[in-house]
Amino acid sequence: QVRLVESGGGLVQAGGSLRLSCAASGRPVSRYALAWFRQPPGKEREFVGAISWSAGRTDYTDSVKGRFTISRDNAKNTVYLQMNSLKPGDTAVYFCAAKGPLAMPIADLSGATYNYWGQGTQVTVSS
């Protein structure tokens, strides 16, 4: 089993930045695809972006392209989501997820192919 724990959420003003972290435990996730999803208040969960096990490929939803960056440190069993130029519309609970090993494709709008999930961290962007 893989356990995922997100951290780094909080309250930030529009235009600001936050970096979320997701630490994995239970087994190494170096060969797992890792992704971020979010659930805005009153809405369905949505795909934010994902990174392949080798970090050679990333995919993002259009609304965050150019503002958000996913990276991973396999030595630390951790994936990151750097969020810049935040907007009130980015307000949501952010979840990390994992699937693997060597699972492809990494993009998954529904999250149905991701096997492991964290508990989420709240990000609130004020206007």
The CA distance from 110 to 60, in Å, is 13
In the DSSP assignment, the letter for residue 64 is: G
Local confidence pLDDT in tens for the 127 residues of the chain: 899 999 999 999 999 999 999 999 999 999 999 999 999 999 999 999 999 988 789 999 999 999 999 999 999 999 999 999 999 999 999 999 999 888 888 888 889 999 999 999 999 999 9
Q: Is 46 exposed, middle or buried (0-12, 13-18, 19+ CB in 10 A)?
A: middle
Q: Torsion angle of alpha carbons 100, 31, 19, 120, nearest 10°?
A: 30
Asked if residue 4 lies in contact with residue 98, where contact means CB atoms within 8 angstroms, the answer is yes
Q: Structure tokens of 54? A: 């080798």
Asked if residue 59 lies in contact with residue 106, where contact means CB atoms within 8 angstroms, the answer is yes
